[in-house]
Amino acid sequence: MDIPVFILAGLLVHCVFLVSIFDIYFSSPLVHGMTPQQTLLPPPAKRLVLFVADGLRADSLYELDGNGAPRAPYLRGILENNGSWGVSHTRVPTESRPGHVALIAGFYEDVSAVAKGWKENPVEFDSVFNESKYTWSWGSPDILPMFAKGATGDHVYTFCYAAESEDFGAEDAAKLDIWVFDHVKSFFNSSRSNQTLFSALNEEKVVLFLHLLGIDTNGHAHRPNSREYQENIKQVDEGVKEIASLIDNFYGNDGKTAFILTSDHGMTDWGSHGAGHPTETLTPLIVWGAGVNYPQKVTSQFFEDNFLKEWKLENLKRLDVNQADIAPLMASLIGVPFPLNSVGTLPLEYLNSSALFKAESMFTNAVQILEQFKVKMSQKKETTLSFLFTPFKPLSASEQINFLKKIRLYIQQQKYDEAVSLCKTLINLALEGLSYYHTYDRLFLGLSIAMGFVGWTTYVILVIIKAHTNLTKTVPTNKKKSTVLFYGFAAAGMIIAFFLLIQACPWTYYVYCLLPVPVWYAVVKEIPVIQDLARNVLSLPIGQSIGFLLVCTLGVEILVFSFFYRSALTVGLLVFAAWPVITQLWIQAKTKAMIWTLLCVLLAIFPLMPVVGREPNIPLVIAAGLLTLLISFFSLASLCKSENKYRDNEDLKVYFYQMLSVALSTYVVSSTHNSLKSKQGLPVMNQIISWMTLVSSPMLLLLSPTFLFERLFSILLSLMSTYLLLSTGYEALFPLALFGLMFMWINMEQEALQHYGLSLKPKLAVFNFTCAMDITQFRQLHLDDVRRSFFFVFFIVTAFFGTGNIASINSFDPASVYCFLTVFSPFMMGGLLLLKVAIPFVLVSCAFEAVQVTTQLSSKSLFLIVLVISDIMALHFFFLVKDYGSWLDIGTSISHYVLVMSLTIFMMVMNGLAQLLTTQRLGLSRRTKHHST
Ligand SMILES: [Zn+2]
Ligand SMILES: [Zn+2]
């Protein structure tokens, strides 16, 4: 295959692999086409008022303050005297949008929202608002419109403050809530002079929704333990009291209004939400008014958390619910159909109504969820060949009828408790079945993609063996045989396509299932190479081949592990430390081997340290600067002593400037952070020096001679002067340790070459990067080159995770750019942080460039090996993609996959940069042509 065709094919295959995860893992679970279900008995309430205090934690509302007084006296009075209360358990991600969807539409928003963005409704859904006669809502423009948009007809009204004018809450976020309360009051006032509105308000099945964003905003700004957050709770409490009495007065105390107060999610002590900590997932729920149970006195009740005692509520029955259960509760209070996609179970204990009403409501609930199951099943059945279809056994058609008949009978016989418990069983089975059919295709699609992955990787391995090794002889291809093969694979492709066609699969399925066909065709076409290879491998001792395979597997597994546990890198580095001993290299180079081992152990410490930025430690940065200076003094001294006739004294000046630059950086870091500590801001002079260092250091580097050691030292000094400015702690020492190891690596690889008798005694000291380019004839690949490439990938991954996790944005600390700017500027900060992350890669890449040219390894064959390693890793991450958990978990699992997939491209770019940095020299006529890649 030609190189451009190969690259194109590779890109295409990887694009398909990448896109496939969104189809396989992140598809919407919602189904459409169910009939609405509703009890025919008269509902207890005519209208419902829903207060959602955004970001309100359960304990913040229920606990008593320092004086033993409740934080929200009115609401406390309600739950003690005339309502029911409990904790509503939210699911992750604990964000506003999924929280509100669970409350109002009754389902936990699917992760396809990740793929489709946050902006609009990714999918259409039904909600209690949509089922109501009229809904009026007040609050944030981020929440309200999504329920108005999904609603059919013109009966959901929203009143939001403009997104831009959210600033009016800047100094006091509670004003956002005051805005809502004020607007509700004036709304009811205006209705007295507006006949249409007045009669609409007096209809049945009316919902009033008050979204109160103040508490969330205050929590983010000041944290939940702040006075601001707690004051805001008090203000909301007063507001709820006023609105409740206003509404009761408006309707002449008809006792037909139900009230619900809850929140969409909680908040951690440090003011964030999104993940699954109990402070985020436990939200309050207080329900009172028409149709709602009064407080139930109990002598003892058991909950795993010890909150009841803390809240002094041991004697009032606590009724916990799942967040989505609130939607059916609201629906049955005002007598509207349950939202079509709701998966909530009606919390019966909140209801104060007849046993018949409860049993009927529960029955409706069960039928409504069963409807979804039926639709989902028939959809799957339609698109699957009947003999391949494996139904969800516990809920076969006859089972369903059995259940429904039995429940009906119990209700007729007035055995309401039995009816209710049977309904609950049916609901659980239906939910189980729903998820069974939702993930029905996952295994089959996953296997297809895995087939493609394995085929592609095998093909790349064959290409490497064929083109870059002398393991196989060129065998003339048998023309007749290959035509037969071609038709065979074409027929297989056709059969697969036909199968997909009769099952009416979406077009993306064709891509996933047909991709393995051409890939495996390409593999099978190379069968002579495989046979040749097999013969070669079989002639080797069996133990050796198995050992090689084991070591390869172990190596890749360690790399995969390091994405989750940075300490896996430590294990890997310790194995590296033992490498000279295992291969007996140490016999021929004792000192070098010892330094290598020492540096490996030293570098192994870094992945064990906490992620950067948590604890600033400027003295360590200064120490790193001084250490760099010390090392450069020694290397300069040894340079002066050595007699290299190609060297001129002009070159030493460049070193001098570079050392000066490192010294300046060290000074700037320490003085900037001192000045910031004493709250004097960033001195202008420091800022100027920082930016000048950033610009001048690459220039200086390009002025230095291109002899191997000189140029590498120059690269270190340049990068260090920038890195120091961007450091706040121990990470400043990381490039130094890494460079030390890289330097020893270059030396050790030379020893390894001699060990295998591949090279004569080299002269690394007089090796010139630009002269190396004249070598056009690269040698064939040796098995040891696989290890070399693995070292490269491993060191790149070490640069990834050595001091933090670059896959997660959480590990970036803005404090590290304070030498450059202190005003918030996301673009600039992002750029500088990216530079900081990139510096260790540049070091590794430059060192590897040196290894490549001194061992005469061609970059092309090398990148093919890297491609194989990264694809094997990618296959792991494909199966590790998560479709549950917090946005952070899901996002990280996707970013791992993308990261590994683009590893090869990333390394190619880095290799280009390394070539530029090692071979180019400014202002001199010694420039020579690039070496071929
Ligand atoms: Zn929220
Ligand atoms: Zn928030």
Distance 510 CA to ligand 1 centre (A): 40
**According to the model, what pLDDT value does residue 122 have?**
46
Distance 218 CA to ligand 2 centre (A): 9
Q: In the structure encoding, which two tokens stand for residue 741, read together?
A: 């190891």
Report how far apart the first and last C-alpha atoms of the chain are (Å, whole number). 17
How far apart, in whole angstroms, are the C-alpha atoms of residue 507 and residue 512? 9
Distance 644 CA to ligand 2 centre (A): 65
Helix (H, G, I), strand (E, B) or coil at 589: coil
**According to the model, what pLDDT value does residue 352 have?**
93
How far apart, in whole angstroms, are the C-alpha atoms of residue 559 and residue 872? 11
- Following DSSP, what letter does each residue of 58-124 receive, concatenated? HHHHHSB-TTS-BSSHHHHHHHHHTEEEEEEEP-SS--HHHHHHHHHH-SPPPTHHHHH-SSS-SS-
Total H helices, total E strands in the chain: 37, 8
Distance 265 CA to ligand 1 centre (A): 6
Residues of the chain with pLDDT under 50: 114-115, 117-122, 774-776, 807-811, 924-933
**According to the model, what pLDDT value does residue 116 have?**
55
How far apart, in whole angstroms, are the C-alpha atoms of residue 182 and residue 212? 12
Distance 96 CA to ligand 1 centre (A): 3
The answer to whether 500 and 508 are in contact (CB under 8 A) is no
Cα distances (Å, whole numbers) of residue 698 to 506, 654, 655, 701, 931: 52, 12, 13, 5, 22
Question: Of 6, 781, 907, 777, which Cα lies nearest the Cα of 467?
Answer: 781
Q: In the structure encoding, which two tokens stand for residue 548, read together?
A: 């090689």
**According to the model, what pLDDT value does residue 478 have?**
66
Distance 72 CA to ligand 2 centre (A): 21
**According to the model, what pLDDT value does residue 923 have?**
64
CB proximity list for 741: less than 8 A, separation 6 or greater: 596, 599, 600, 602, 603, 795
The answer to whether 288 and 78 are in contact (CB under 8 A) is yes
Distance 844 CA to ligand 1 centre (A): 44
Residue 57 carries which DSSP code? -
- Angle (CA) 138-184-290 rounded to 5° is 95
How far apart, in whole angstroms, are the C-alpha atoms of residue 177 and residue 158? 15
Q: In the structure encoding, which two tokens stand for residue 279, read together?
A: 């402070």
Distance 99 CA to ligand 1 centre (A): 7
How far apart, in whole angstroms, are the C-alpha atoms of residue 329 and residue 346? 6
* 683-687 contact pairs (CB < 8 A, 24+): 686/819, 687/819, 687/820, 687/821
Inter-axis angle of helices 416-438 and 355-382, to 10 degrees?
A: 20
Q: For all residues of the chain together, what is the average pLDDT?
A: 84
pLDDT digits (tens, 9 = 90+) for 474-502: 556 667 777 888 888 899 999 988 888 88
Q: Which helix (H) or strand (E) holds 641?
A: helix 618-641
Residue 768 carries which DSSP code? B
Distance 492 CA to ligand 2 centre (A): 53
How far apart, in whole angstroms, are the C-alpha atoms of residue 240 and residue 263? 14
Neighbour-count burial of 181, counting CB atoms closer than 10 A to its CB (0-12 exposed, 13-18 middle, 19+ buried)? buried
Q: Which helix (H) or strand (E) holds 318?
A: none
| 209, β-bridge pairs | 50, 137
Residue 172 carries which DSSP code? -
| 724-745: burial string, b at 16+ Cβ within 10 Å, e else | bbbbbbbbbbbbbbbbbbbbbb
**According to the model, what pLDDT value does residue 401 have?**
94
Residue 607 carries which DSSP code? G
Distance 890 CA to ligand 1 centre (A): 19
The answer to whether 319 and 84 are in contact (CB under 8 A) is yes
Distance 213 CA to ligand 2 centre (A): 8
| 47, β-bridge pairs | 206, 257
Residues with a beta carbon under 5 angstroms from ion ligand 1: 54-55, 96, 216, 264
**According to the model, what pLDDT value does residue 810 have?**
44
Torsion of CA 698, 704, 708, 713, to 10 degrees: -60
Distance 217 CA to ligand 2 centre (A): 6
Distance 179 CA to ligand 2 centre (A): 18
Distance 158 CA to ligand 2 centre (A): 21
Distance 534 CA to ligand 2 centre (A): 60
Q: Which ligand is nearest to the CA of 220?
A: 2
The answer to whether 163 and 213 are in contact (CB under 8 A) is no
Q: In the structure encoding, which two tokens stand for residue 358, read together?
A: 């409860």
Cα distances (Å, whole numbers) of residue 486 to 492, 524, 530: 10, 10, 18
